[in-house]
Amino acid sequence: MDTDESTPLIPRQKPQRGNGRLYLAAFSAVLGNLSFGFALVYPSPVIPQLQRGDDPRLKLDTHQISWFGSIFSLGAVAGGLGAMLLNDRLGRKPSIMLSAVPASVGYLVLAAAQAVWMLYLGRFLTGISSGMTAASIPVYVSEISHPKVRGTLGSCPQLMGVFGSLALYALGLVLPWRWLAVAGEVPVLVMLVLLCFMPDSPRFLITRGRREDACRALEWLRGPEYSGEFLRIEHSVKTQSGVGWAELGQPFYYKPILISVGMRFLQQMTGITPILVYLEPIFHQTQITLEPKYDAALVGAVRLLSVMTAASLMDKAGRKPLLYTSGFLMFVSMLTMTMYTRTPPTHHGNNSSSLLQWVGAPTQTPPTFDPITLIPLISTIVIIFGYAMGWGPITWLLMSEVLPLGARGIASGLCVGVSWLTAFVLTQVFMHVVVDIGLFAPFLFFCVVCVVNIIFTGVCVPETKGRSLEEIENYFKTGRSFTITDSISITS
């Protein structure tokens, strides 16, 4: 019989996709991403509220607004680097649970803020929590998932992050900014309670020699027919040893790490973080004649819909086609935003880049409706839609799929650190560039990055749809084939 790359050379039992408990475990973990998404965009409705408030201690100038928006990313860097150690020493699940501590404290500090430094501290602490979850949750979900649903479940962290952002935008329509911080406590506490009853990753348990615990965890996640999958995982773990500097020079390690780091870097270079953080102020700056807070909620709803669409297509269309589509949609919409903000309509009044206009200070007479002002709203919706279709969820998923087990904990923390350090720089610089040059400048830069992303997808990214983690590891071992050629005994 002829074989090709898609034909496994080893007869394998067809493992169960899992039962409802698998989805419960994934849901319990990704509640941390809901809090992540909520905290990420917290400044969007809060900045205008603070500027229109009566407390002079919380009035922010350009420099303070920039730090309020960006210090979250600096906290995420610290959290991601901390997760490098926690993932491999304590395990994936305990790392996720520990992230609840800085999140809870951070939201409390924000709710009780009486000075600008408290706003900074609250944002930094919620950033630490988000960095920890960003490094731990995708790995945990990937390692507990069945290959046939790993694409769908792997998009859940991004889906819940988007849902958290939408919840923030929606609650921002009716709640004062302090109560928004209180609301952020809810998913954190629910996550902590649910994870107490969930198993840790079977792969992690096997690496720690806890074979019986791993068997119980896999049986809990899959049902009674789990033995074949357990032996394949055990074989994969036994063929890998601890990673030292010498091993990192091997293609099996450095290629997937470079791909993962490159994708997380390029994901942030699209500008998605500053766009989401300053979404309402951007709508004020582009002089949309619809109220910006409702525009932000609309964009959040579209973002949620697009991530749900991507989740349903992930295991059907494949990773690379969605990445190509995502990059192209972002390129077109970024280019449109560049042209619109470079030559805006002159009859909408003064187009200065003043701080008051940037943060949305109230005007005496609301502008009359003009259909042309819908262009930046539609363009922003397409940017968010395109990102959430591919470069949002797939970057998280591929990181958890391609990283070798021996380096997965450390490398995932490195990816998160690089990602959020990039996000910090962009979010910090974005504000000053808009005020000094204009809104068109960052969007032109993001437009060029989208072209680079499309090229990177074609040259560097492997298609992992329907592949087990062991097959993906074999691809980087051989450099050419997903087929597993090692003989694995399926009898205990």
Contacts of 434 (CB under 8 A, 6+ apart): 285, 353, 358, 441, 442
Could you tell me the sign of the dihedral formed by the alpha carbons of 412, 243, 102, 420, in that order? Answer: negative
Q: How far apart are CA 187 and CA 419, in angstroms?
A: 24
| Token reading at 137 | 């949750």
Q: Give the residue ranges of DSSP H helices in 8-115.
A: 20-40, 43-52, 62-89, 92-98, 100-111
Are residues 391 and 327 in contact, defined by beta-carbon separation less than 8 angstroms?
Answer: yes
The angle formed by the CA atoms of residues 60, 278 and 44, to the nearest 5 degrees, is 75
Amino acid at 244: G
Sign of the dihedral defined by the CA atoms of residues 49, 52, 54, 56, in that order: positive
Domains of the chain in start order, with CATH, are 20-478 (1.20.1250.20)
Residue 295 neighbours by CB under 8 Å, 6+ apart = 280, 283, 288, 377, 380
Kindly give, in sequence order, each residue whose CB lies less than 8 Å from that of residue 429, ignoring residues fewer than 6 positions away. Answer: none
pLDDT in tens, the chain (492 residues): 444 444 444 444 444 445 678 889 889 999 999 999 899 889 888 888 887 777 788 888 778 888 888 899 889 888 888 877 787 788 888 989 999 999 999 999 999 999 999 999 999 999 999 988 887 888 888 788 877 777 677 777 877 888 888 888 889 888 888 999 999 999 999 999 999 999 888 888 888 778 888 888 888 887 776 666 677 777 766 666 555 555 666 666 778 888 888 888 999 999 888 888 887 777 777 766 566 667 677 777 777 777 777 767 766 777 788 889 889 999 999 999 888 887 654 444 334 444 445 554 544 445 565 677 778 888 888 888 888 788 887 887 777 777 776 666 677 767 777 888 898 889 888 888 888 888 888 999 999 999 999 999 888 888 777 777 667 777 777 665 555 544 444 443
d(CA 89, CA 111): 33
